[in-house]
Structure 1
């Protein structure tokens, strides 16, 4: 084999190896990414059907029902609601009327089964996406009230 052919074979092999490594990294990232959606976006069908994602908003007052280690509650952006089921220990800051982000996917019965619950960490913090969703829902509610 000529030196020129050896160089071409090495370059092609290196490019193929780089392509395989890139594909593996992108696949790993794709399977670990959980996108954020508001309850309004979920109701509009924008959320993935068979994949984990995050839903954020406020925990509706009076919606938390405990059954031993399983908790049922509603996350809302004041326009739409998402019913959530979570089995496990909730964060200490989780309370009705406070912000929360839940990660999981929908059960066949239409209830969101959370694998992780995140509560806001102080009185003033809300995830920017959740704050934007609440603001948009308030604007939409005012527009409807004016009509």
Structure 2
């Protein structure tokens, strides 16, 4: 009788361990492209990521830097006040209506040969919104100014 209880207990523990391994593998598979780090232009210039690394680049859109291309493509510059990174948007969607020069933005994509190739853009939601990461970066470089109400 005791050996049957021990055997059943071992089977339950092995089943739970197997379920845990499967759960961890599924979570890792789900996050393989979902975990992308935020970087400022200064961080990118100091330690350039690998060309195949997908990440988020955030800062202010430099005044006078937006240049329209063919279709929905366009170029612009993201700056944190210290460093400027040229960006080429090559996504499938048109430019967001709230995407403007002098405003905070986060671009998602790849940094290759000194150019950030953006696949997605996040623009502000209203006149005062700016992503927290961008505000923190601008405060560190001493460029951030509180919005006027």
Q: TM-score, normalised by structure 2?
A: 0.82
Residues 60-85 of structure 1 show CA distances to partners (whole Å, capped at 9, x for unaligned) of 11111111221011000010111111
C-alpha root-mean-square deviation of aligned residues, in Å? 2.0
Q: Does the 8 Å contact 1:61/1:97 carry over to 2?
A: yes
Q: Does the 8 Å contact 1:59/1:100 carry over to 2?
A: yes
Name the CA distance, whole Å, in 1 between partners of 2:49 and 2:57: 9
Count of matched residue positions in the alignment of Structure 1 and Structure 2: 138
> What is the Cα deviation at residue 118 of structure 1?
1.1
Paired residue for 2:39, among 37, 40, 63? 37
Matched with 2:11 is 9
Paired residue for 1:102, among 102, 107, 111? 107
Matched with 2:89 is 86
Matched with 2:69 is 67
Paired residue for 2:27, among 15, 25, 28? 25
Structure 1 residue runs of 4 or more that deviate by more than 4 Å after TM superposition:
46-49
Specify every segment of 5 or more residues in structure 2 that has no aligned partner in the other structure, as ranges. 144-149
- What SS does the corresponding residue of 2:31 show, helix, strand or coil? helix
Name the CA distance, whole Å, in 2 between partners of 1:27 and 1:44: 30
| Bigger helix share | 1
Paired residue for 1:119, among 104, 123, 138? 123
Name the CA distance, whole Å, in 1 between partners of 2:98 and 2:132: 18
Specify every segment of 5 or more residues in structure 1 that has no aligned partner in the other structure, as ranges. 140-147
- What SS does the corresponding residue of 1:7 show, helix, strand or coil? helix
